[in-house]
Chains A and B, each alone.
Chain A
Amino acid sequence: MQLAGVFTRVDSASVTKLVVVVGLPLLIVALAFLTPPAYYVDRWAANRGLRLTDANRRLVDAYIKRTRRLRTIGGATGFLVVVAPGSLYMLVDPDSGLGRTLRRLGMGKWFAVSLIVGYLAGALVAELSLARPRDRWRSGAALLPREVKQYVTPWARYMLWGLAAILVAAIPLPAILTLEKDSGGVASVARYTGLAAAVAVVEGLQRMIVRRPQSFVDPSMVEADDAVRSSSVHACLGVGLTIVMSLAATVLTEISYDAVVGPIRWILRVPSIACVFASLFVWLSFGTSYAWAVRRQLAIGSPRSPAST
Chain B
Amino acid sequence: MIVEIDHTSGVPPYEQLRDQVSRTILSGVLAPGAQLPSIRQIAADLNLAPGTVARAYRELERERLVVSHRRRGTTVAGPVRPAGRPDPDTDEQVAAAARRYAALSAQLGLDAAAALEHVREALSQLKDTVQATGGSGAETAR
Q: Which A residues contact B (CB, under 8 angstroms)?
A: 136-146, 211-217, 219, 222, 298-300
Contact = CB atoms under 8 A, between A and B. Distances in A.
B108 interface: no
B73 A138 contact: no
Contacts of A146: 37, 41
Given A139-B5, A140-B2, A215 B45 contact: yes
A211 B41 contact: yes
B4 interface: yes
Contact of A137 (B6, B24, B35, B42): B6
Given A141-B3, A142-B1, A215 B46 contact: yes
B38 interface: yes
A143 B3 contact: yes
A222 B3 CA distance: 12
Contacts of B1: 142-144, 219, 298-299
Interface of B is mostly: mixed
Contact of B2 (A136, A143, A211): A143
Nearest to B47: A139
Interface of B: 1-8, 21, 24, 29-30, 35-38, 41-42, 44-48, 73, 133
A140 B46 contact: yes
**Top-10 shortest CB links A-B:** A141-B45, A213-B44, A140-B4, A139-B46, A145-B37, A143-B1, A139-B47, A141-B46, A137-B8, A137-B7
A304 B36 CA distance: 19
A273 B114 CA distance: 76
A219 B47 contact: no
Contacts, number: 73
A55 to B, nearest CB: 14
A145 B2 contact: no
Nearest to A221: B2
B37 A300 contact: no
A145 B41 contact: yes
A136 B3 CA distance: 16
20 contacts: A137-B8, A139-B47, A139-B48, A140-B45, A142-B2, A142-B45, A143-B2, A143-B3, A143-B21, A143-B30, A143-B36, A144-B37, A146-B41, A212-B44, A213-B47, A219-B1, A222-B2, A298-B2, A299-B1, A299-B29
A300 B24 CA distance: 11
A131 B58 CA distance: 34
A33 to B, nearest CB: 33
Given A213-B47, A300-B133, A141 B6 contact: no
Contacts of A136: 7
A298 B36 CA distance: 12
B71 to A, nearest CB: 14
Contacts of A213: 44-45, 47
Given A141-B46, A143-B3, 7 more contacts: A138-B5, A140-B4, A142-B1, A142-B37, A145-B35, A146-B37, A213-B44
B87 to A, nearest CB: 25
Contact of A216 (B2, B5, B24, B36): B2
